[in-house]
């Protein structure tokens, strides 16, 4: 069962369900390699000293703390962030311990656009900008295949307005 199934209304279907692009994990993985490599090097330097066990324990505690804070926490945030387009609304859910979310009904969306810088183009992602009846546009960063998502969202917004016109 996909994540948002319990949040769907009767007759509502998921069109797109994505996590942020994996490029946001490059920094945390780099931190993992630097911490493991650096702390292994430091552990090797103190291997011949009589107080090596104490230093190894200290290095292990500090290293695990750094890995938990700078690698595991961003991985958990990435995994628990969901960008979902359904037939009726746009949903974004994020957070590990404290969850937050936003739902935008399709009929409230005025325009959808995207922005892709050079790095985003290389990785195949971008920022989706959704203008709704709210004061300011909402920006969703690191959306994979942002052009396709923008097209699908635009289609769903159009389908919803055509459906409302037929009912009225």
Task: State mean pLDDT over 83-94.
Answer: 92
Do 134 and 105 lie in a common domain? yes
| Neighbour order of strands in the sheet with 109-115 | 109-115, 125-132, 138-144
Q: Is the pLDDT of residue 165 over 80?
A: no
Do 42 and 117 lie in a common domain? no
Task: State mean pLDDT over 119-131.
Answer: 94
Statement: the pTM of the whole predicted model exceeds 0.95: no
What is the number of alpha carbons within 13 Å of residue 68 lying toward its C-beta?
6
Question: Which tokens in the block code for residue 98?
Answer: 């404290």
Alpha helices in 18-70 (DSSP H): 26-45, 52-67
Q: Is the pLDDT of residue 103 over 80?
A: yes
Which residues on neighbouring strands pair with residue 59, listed in sequence order?
A: none
Q: Is the pLDDT of residue 156 over 90?
A: no
Do 72 and 91 lie in a common domain? no
- For 124, the domain range is 14-19+82-167
Do 73 and 86 lie in a common domain? no
Q: Is the residue at 36 inside a domain?
A: yes
Q: Are strands 109-115 and 100-105 parallel, antiparallel or unpaired?
A: unpaired
């Amino acid at each position: 069962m996909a994540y948002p199934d319990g949040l769907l209304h009767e007759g509502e279907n998921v069109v797109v369900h994505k996590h942020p692009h994996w490029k946001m994990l490059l920094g945390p993985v780099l931190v993992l390699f630097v911490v493991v490599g650096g702390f292994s090097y430091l552990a090797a330097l103190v291997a011949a000293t009589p107080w090596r066990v104490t230093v190894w324990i200290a290095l292990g505690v500090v290293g695990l703390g750094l890995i938990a804070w700078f690698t595991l926490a961003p991985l958990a945030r990435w995994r628990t962030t969901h960008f979902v387009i359904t037939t009726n609304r746009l949903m974004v859910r994020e957070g590990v311990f404290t969850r937050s979310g936003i739902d935008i009904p399709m009929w409230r969306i005025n325009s959808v656009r995207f922005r892709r810088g050079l790095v985003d183009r290389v990785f195949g992602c971008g920022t989706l900008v959704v203008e709704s009846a709210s004061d300011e546009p909402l920006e969703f960063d690191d959306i994979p295949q942002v052009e396709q998502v923008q097209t699908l969202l635009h289609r769903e917004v159009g389908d919803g307005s055509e459906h409302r016109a037929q009912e009225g």
